[in-house]
Amino acid sequence: MRATKAVQKILSHYEGETPGVKANLCRMLMEGRLGGTGRMIILPVDQGFEHGPARTYAPNPASYDPHYHFRLAIDAGLNAYAAPLGMLEAGADSFAGQIPTILKVNSANSLMSGTAGKNQAITGSVDDALRLGCSAIGFTIYPGSDAALEMYEEISAMRAEAAARGIATVIWSYPRGEAVTKDGETAIDVCAYGAQIAALLGAHIIKIKLSTDHLMLPEARTVYEAQKIDVATQAARVRHCMEASFAGRRIVVFSGGAIKGEDGVYDDARAIRDGGGHGSIIGRNSFQRSRPEALAMLTKLVEIYKGRA
């Protein structure tokens, strides 16, 4: 399938990349019901590691089965499916070539003590991604954590290895840790900073949370107020995060977060669309619903990103 003009324009922003990386970005952008539009919806299922199985899958017991998530992403016409090593291995053969996949190569868990600090363990490799036919690796960083510098060094090395082999990199940039307050984790100045860090680390796709109008850093507040940076609405805050992502020259998708009402999910998508974001990476808000409900919701999200709802 020939890349559309919208996709070609996005790919033109990645001037230093190998043809292999661009091919995999193109594959994801051209996949599914949003294929060719320049918008994306990705299904991430790494929450079992982070939160545990019951908290993650019990609301929809069918989702304990790794095959469930492959089928959901395929049948909903999504752009890609992201998961840790074991989840992808459990369906890699049955669903080979049917949906672009992203191997989440680091993970945290809820069993660690509060004094352990915010960090993630490396749980997958670029070789694993190649073996499983993945289009990208995914890696979480925690700007604001005392372990952040170590995480930056890890993804810098792994990103270089992946790019050399034609595999793209998705960075989950979630500010949290010793230097960030709870409200600061979603403050607009901090979220935009997190997006900028991910872009500077070489992320091809940046995953961040939707932000609030809170400003955590006093020095940043001074600039936001002096320059009259508009952060009053969710769309304005999305637009600002896109500015922080090389003036929109990097693909940015926004996390769906904990399960919420359907209207909230739709309002978020409209704000992402109107603010110039590339789409959603939506996990629990899809797979914790029943399959018919999830498919209906994802269909509506596609229509929103196409400007039809």
Q: Which residues pair with 104 in a beta bridge?
A: 84, 138
31 secondary structure, DSSP code = S
Contact present, 243 and 197 (Cβ < 8 Å)? no
d(CA 264, CA 13): 32
Strand ranges, E, within the chain? 40-44, 80-84, 101-104, 106-107, 121-122, 136-141, 168-173, 205-209, 251-255, 279-281
Q: Which residues are within 8 A (CB) of 198 and not within 5 positions of it... i.e. 6 or more apart?
A: 141, 171, 173, 206, 208, 245, 250
Q: Among residues 57, 81, 142, 174, which one is catalytic?
A: 174
276 secondary structure, DSSP code = T
Three-state DSSP string of 129-180: HHHCCCCEEEEEECCCCCCHHHHHHHHHHHHHHHHHCCCEEEEEECCCCCCC
Tell me, yes or no, if 174 is annotated catalytic.
Answer: yes
255 secondary structure, DSSP code = E
Structure tokens at 273: 């669309």
d(CA 161, CA 291): 37
Tell me, yes or no, if 207 is annotated catalytic.
Answer: yes
Q: Among residues 22, 104, 118, 207, which one is catalytic?
A: 207
CA dihedral 82, 237, 289, 40 (to 10 degrees): -40
Comparing C-alpha atoms, which of 124, 119, 126 is closest to residue 169?
Answer: 126
CA dihedral 2, 6, 8, 14 (to 10 degrees): -140
Active site residues: 174, 207
